[in-house]
Structure 1
Amino acid sequence: MTRENTKRPSAGRSRNLTLSVALIVGFAASVVFGLSLTRAAAGVATIWLGSGIVTAALLLLPRRWGFGVAAICFAFQFLCNLRINPPLIGLTFSLLCLGEALATAWLARKTCGQTMRLTSLKRVARLTAFAVAPATAAGAVLAADVLTLFGRSFNEVLGPWFYAHALGMAIVLPVILMVSRRDLSEDFRRSALEQVGLYGLIVAASIFCFLPIRFPMPLLVFPILTLIAVRLGPRGAAVSALVLAAIGAGLMMTDYRPATGATWTMLEKTRSLQFLIAISFFTSLSMALAIADQKRLKRLWAGRTRVARAAQARAIAAGQAKAEFLATMSHEIRTPMNSIVGFTEVLLRRDDLPEAARRQLSLIDRAGASLLTVVNDVLDFSKMEAGEVELAPRPVTPRAIAQDSLAIVAEAARRKGLDLQLGFIGPVERPLMIDDLRVRQILLNLLSNAIKFTEAGRVRLDVQVREGEGGRALRFTVTDSGVGVPSDKIERLFKRFSQVDSSVSRAHGGTGLGLAICRGLTELMGGQIGVNGGPGAGSVFWFEIPAAQADADCAEEAAAPAAAGLRARILLVDDHPMNRELGATVLGLLGCEVVLAENGEEAVEAARSGSCDLILMDVHMPRMDGLEATRQIRALGGANATIPIIAMSADVMPEMETACLKAGMNDAVGKPVQIQTLHAIVAKWLAAMDGPAAEAAA
């Protein structure tokens, strides 16, 4: 046995011994006090505290200790009764008091539980109503019956016994139970000087209450008890009520006259004292328990607030760690993918490739596109969870979106021998104000899924523009003749990382994020998305978004022809040799003259000494990164203050894009950069600069 284990039983025995001695001493004092106040003809004390002390011993001590204390108290009470009563009557009184204590303890266990924590007025009321009152009432009836055998009147015994024993137990039992628990005083810790002062105040008030003065002095007790309840809590209120009971009972037996000058009988004095003690005790205790409960709730609220703040801090830290992880992984994955995807596209444009090599390159291209889709899905979903996806509506015709989307997936459908169909309903030629990139992203996801899960048959896209109660609505419907979706799996489709077939042997891959992203984007645009169909009968995916009609100027902008071929001098800045070679090759295919720089310092010197039409700037570079290089180029002034600078980085997190724009860049494109994407963004900014240049020349 360890030292700690040997200390615990020793500490328990010491506590039990101390509590037992204290209760026995208190019982002895209460018996002497109670017998000294016995003035009634039936021999019943004005207030009897002893039964409450024995009950407390039975509740607070282990069974053997409790019964031992009860036996000692019984013997002491019997010896004291022998001095003022015949032996048989003294034995009867002692046995009745012991039985009353045993009954109260048993009822208290049944009604208030094993812990006996009097932390609320409801618990105190339950103890009084269902333990103290029944036990003392039964004891009073039994005492009145038994004492009639000794010539006592039944009515003379019944009332005084019940009032004295019920009031005494109702006061002393809660006092001992509260004093024995330290947790009830945690919120009411006061200095020893303040406690002595407050208890001294109640002692003085209790003495003045029963002086023969014409002023109703008992009224002074209540504000003092209120002050004690506020400052010392339930324990202080209970002890103060006990002090009032002891002093009042002692002084009441003197020659006390009320303020009216009338002489009260002993019974009237006893009843008035019992009434004053009961009202004072329950009033002050109710207030103290209410204050204690309020303090407990405040402490609980403060604790939960601290827990919530700690959880919030952990969540913020986890979010930052997640963002850093995604940024790092995105950069590390996209950097090699830039070369894989880029050089594959360059090679596929050659005319001198053998058919076998072209087929192998096509497989590499599709594998790279699949891997890029997985990376984009994870990043897009992370952006949506963080609320960092912003819409950019522009005028576009629904027909153009549908045709472009079908053109992208046409090759995948052709390889599987699927029939692609397109249908229109309504004015699909009119430009609408929508974010065409996000709409196309949703549409491509639905079309790709339809092709992936359809082995034979057809995939149909229907586009409908209709007028509804809330305005114009644009609806896309993708119908396939594939495996379909079981009705019990439909709810899982639009949840993250969820797939209809999640088994290890599933036939189709994917992250399970595509449809969750579709739902998030649709809801972000104020629309809704859904699916119909059953197993083996194909499926029908649809989404509908509100779309405002574009005005005349926007319509002309949407109908404007695309920019012509590129003829520009471009500064390409990248620290990776493979990326520089790929960029120079792709830009050369697009008709551009390329100037290369390996880091930010070379980029600044090239911008200072040469004339370029546009700068493609990597962000993460040694010696000087792309952000600082951009700021220094802007500081050169002249043409460098307005030259388009486009960030090309494998870090595509929103924070990095924001940092690029703040540094003075005009736009950002993520790696790997595909030829069509690079062509579009370069053409966009070259066209934007041609307008101001033409106006200046004019």
Structure 2
Amino acid sequence: MTVPEQALPKAARLLLVEDDEDDYILTSGYLRELPSYSFDIVWADSPQQALTRLCDESFDICLLDFQLGAENGLSVLKLAQQQGLSTPIIMLTGQADDALDLAALQAGATDFLVKHELGSPRFQRAIRYALARKEIEQERVERLKAEAGSRAKDRFLAHLSHEIRTPLTSILGYTELLLESDYADQAETELGVILSNGKHLLSLLNDVLDLSKLSANRLELKIAPVNLDSFIADVFSLLKVMALDKGLSFSVVGRHPLPLIIHTDATRLRQVLINITYNAIKFTEQGKVQVEVWTERRQHQELLFFSVTDTGIGIAEEQLERIFQPFEQLQDVVTRTEGGAGLGLAISAELVAHMGGEIQVASELNVGSEFSLSINPGDIKDSERAELGFERSPLKNRQAIKPSLQGKVLVVDDIDEIRRLTGHLIQSTGAEVAYASNGQDVVALFEQSPQDFDLVLMDLHMPVLDGRSALTHLRRQGYTVPVVAVTAATQKGLHRQLTELGFNDILSKPINKPSLYRSLVQYLNPADVSVPVRKKILLVEDDPDTRRLMDMILTDLGSTVESVGTALDCLKKLEAAPHYDGLLMDMGLPDMPGAKLISLVHSVSPELPVCIISGRDLSTEQLSEYNAQDYLLKPVNRQDLSRVLNNF
């Protein structure tokens, strides 16, 4: 017969400090008669031995005699407290003494007992209380350790996110810029591979962070109205292309008229549907993949259901229990026919649970699989219903269209590549851009000319002065300019924390163009639709090929260009017609040092903005010494010239 676990006596290790052997034997006997505990009793007969044992070994409880030869147990109590020992100690005394009892409690004793109470109900209660207190203390210590470990993990993941997203921002952003340029035709395939793999790395990073937030119950859903028909059209138009590329039949079917509007987190639902449907396509070599959508009342709530059915390789019955576990991959680990971190289904199951539903799977090996999921779509009882029409949202399609804007944006980031990339994207809308590398620079810029900026994009993590502190300083000084936080962090409640601090909005890293454009449109004014004034530029470059190329780019950017190859010709142009909007000049001219030419230029046209074309980086101090407004580092590209023109 098996004894129930709760009926077994609890094992406890006890240190009995007693210099009288008869009292030791008597007390041990009473302890062994306690019905709920099984004690492993260790005997110490002196204060020194007791302290050594308490320091070197682990005990659940200690019974300490007050009188230990010429010494008393109070000294043991005090030394135990000084050394931070947490073992509960009960003082044993020969006779009742209120002053002694009070002294024992003040010295750190858990309780005190007169020896004639051994074996009494009070003795049993004191033992149970001390052991329960020990268990509570152990649980508290374990909880603190777990919380400390969780905080350390959160700090590590936040640091990891920042460190990975920063280079990914450059990789994805500059690759997209190259793909959009006129100079990437021959490398379009290779650039596409870079972009695709960069996005894959970002997806893996997001999966790891999502799993961490889900396990810590820190995922925050953003519930909003969603046009269901448009949502389905957007999600499955991408997946249909993947299926057709593999020669598979792909269809999406509504079993009956569906609500036009539901209330859910569209981003998270899209993540789940793409993950499950993508898996179905990935593991199906021939046949079909079909998605069905319907609503069904369960108890007192009408739920929205999706099922994804495929004719793929299927899943063995013994593996079905593992597929929603993190880091599980069901493909053959030897052949490795498919890749991935094994996080998608685990995250999908957790997300669906957060959205008020569940995922179920039925599968037969070499026949196919069916994944079914449900979510709570909010109150849809009065929602208008219609058959699926697969009409994509016009607003959705317009979001990625580049707007034409005017205004000046301050981009603040300690990473030069991120500053320049963000600046390029902003300048492509027609807005002007200024840069700062930390919060202290921002504060200084506002103190010098507070009316210069219409919008600030501020990274949160920077040296010298971080984004939060800089924003706090600006708001205390009364500056009301819109400030948008740029961060790689995604923890729950972050948006509320930052808006309460004074930020107007948040952009996530890596910055994508649609999100950036939406933010810019919100805070900047539309560009004047009247015919733009063509800027008149004087270009001084002695290399004829470089001069010709820059002339072509500047003209294509809408400027009127006059180009010369020497300093002397430059001065002649200025003397003949000094009204130019800007001067672009190489520092290494054959007939005159660049610094001297700038000095002579300003003697003729004191207000003419000068941009230096240089083979090396120039500091702010050097630009000030040359009396120049900006510089371009060779080789100069279209984006560089566009930025300079916008600043002239």
TM-score greater than 0.5 by the shorter chain? yes
Q: Partners of 1:636 and 1:560 in 2: how far apart?
A: 42
What TM-score do the two structures reach when normalised by structure 2? 0.59
Alignment of 1:105-504 (within 5 A): 119-120=32-33, 189-192=91-94, 194=96, 231-233=113-115, 236=116, 288-350=119-181, 352-354=183-185, 357-428=187-258, 430-501=260-331, 503=333
Contact 1:119 1:293 (C-alpha < 8 Å) held by counterparts: no
Q: Partners of 1:592 and 1:542 in 2: how far apart?
A: 48
Q: Partners of 2:35 and 2:453 in 1: how far apart?
A: 84
Contact 1:397 1:428 (C-alpha < 8 Å) held by counterparts: no
Offset at 1:371?
0.8
- Asked if 1:672 corresponds to 2:510, the answer is yes
Which amino acid in 1 is paired with 2:260? R
Contact 1:531 1:541 (C-alpha < 8 Å) held by counterparts: yes
Offset at 1:627?
1.2
1:600 equivalent in structure 2: 439
Q: Partners of 1:681 and 1:455 in 2: how far apart?
A: 43
2:538 equivalent in structure 1: none
Q: Partners of 1:687 and 1:425 in 2: how far apart?
A: 46
Q: Partners of 1:449 and 1:548 in 2: how far apart?
A: 28
In structure 2, relative to structure 1, the CA distance for the partners of 1:453 and 1:296 (3 Å cut) is: same
Mean CA deviation greater in 488-497 or 585-594: 585-594
Aligned residue for 1:491, secondary structure, equals: coil
2:592 equivalent in structure 1: none
- Asked if 1:628 corresponds to 2:458, the answer is no
In structure 2, relative to structure 1, the CA distance for the partners of 1:612 and 1:458 (3 Å cut) is: farther
Q: Partners of 1:559 and 1:553 in 2: how far apart?
A: 18
Larger radius of gyration: 1
Specify every segment of 5 or more residues in structure 1 that has no aligned partner in the other structure, as ranges: 1-14, 24-55, 61-114, 124-181, 196-229, 238-284, 689-698
Which amino acid in 2 is paired with 1:339? S
Contact 2:305 2:374 (C-alpha < 8 Å) held by counterparts: yes
1:572 equivalent in structure 2: 411
CA offset digits 1:312-365 (Å, max 9, x no partner)? 11111101110111111111111111101111222222355335x211111111
Contact 2:439 2:470 (C-alpha < 8 Å) held by counterparts: yes
CA offset digits 1:495-549 (Å, max 9, x no partner)? 2222224736532222222212111111112111121222112222221112124
1:222 equivalent in structure 2: none
2:455 equivalent in structure 1: 614
Mean CA deviation greater in 392-401 or 567-576: 567-576
Aligned residue for 1:540, secondary structure, equals: strand
In structure 2, relative to structure 1, the CA distance for the partners of 1:410 and 1:360 (3 Å cut) is: farther
Offset at 1:601?
3.3
CA offset digits 1:32-55 (Å, max 9, x no partner)? xxxxxxxxxxxxxxxxxxxxxxxx
Q: Which has the higher strand share?
A: 2
Offset at 1:398?
1.7
Which amino acid in 2 is paired with 1:618? D
- Asked if 1:516 corresponds to 2:346, the answer is yes
Which amino acid in 1 is paired with 2:136? T
In structure 2, relative to structure 1, the CA distance for the partners of 1:554 and 1:590 (3 Å cut) is: farther
Contact 1:619 1:627 (C-alpha < 8 Å) held by counterparts: yes
Offset at 1:420?
3.2
What TM-score do the two structures reach when normalised by structure 1? 0.55
In structure 2, relative to structure 1, the CA distance for the partners of 1:588 and 1:431 (3 Å cut) is: same
1:588 equivalent in structure 2: 427
1:647 equivalent in structure 2: 485
In structure 2, relative to structure 1, the CA distance for the partners of 1:511 and 1:188 (3 Å cut) is: closer
Q: Partners of 1:554 and 1:679 in 2: how far apart?
A: 32
Contact 2:96 2:114 (C-alpha < 8 Å) held by counterparts: no
In structure 2, relative to structure 1, the CA distance for the partners of 1:313 and 1:231 (3 Å cut) is: closer
2:565 equivalent in structure 1: none
Offset at 1:372?
0.7
Q: Partners of 1:296 and 1:412 in 2: how far apart?
A: 69
Specify every segment of 5 or more residues in structure 2 that has no aligned partner in the other structure, as ranges: 1-17, 37-61, 67-88, 98-111, 386-391, 527-648
Matched positions, count: 432
Aligned Cα root-mean-square deviation (Å): 3.7
Contact 1:431 1:549 (C-alpha < 8 Å) held by counterparts: no
In structure 2, relative to structure 1, the CA distance for the partners of 1:438 and 1:455 (3 Å cut) is: same
Q: Partners of 2:339 and 2:30 in 1: how far apart?
A: 60
Offset at 1:376?
0.4
Q: Partners of 2:512 and 2:215 in 1: how far apart?
A: 27
In structure 2, relative to structure 1, the CA distance for the partners of 1:502 and 1:611 (3 Å cut) is: farther
Offset at 1:183?
5.8
CA offset digits 1:612-650 (Å, max 9, x no partner)? 44322111222322112222333444xx52x43222223
In structure 2, relative to structure 1, the CA distance for the partners of 1:551 and 1:464 (3 Å cut) is: closer
Mean CA deviation greater in 667-676 or 368-377: 667-676
CA offset digits 1:564-602 (Å, max 9, x no partner)? 752243322222111122112223345544333322233
Offset at 1:231?
4.8
Percent same amino acid at aligned positions?
Answer: 31
CA offset digits 1:54-86 (Å, max 9, x no partner)? xx9xxx9xxxxxxxxxxxxxxxxxxxxxxxxxx
Contact 1:335 1:672 (C-alpha < 8 Å) held by counterparts: yes
Q: Partners of 1:669 and 1:411 in 2: how far apart?
A: 30
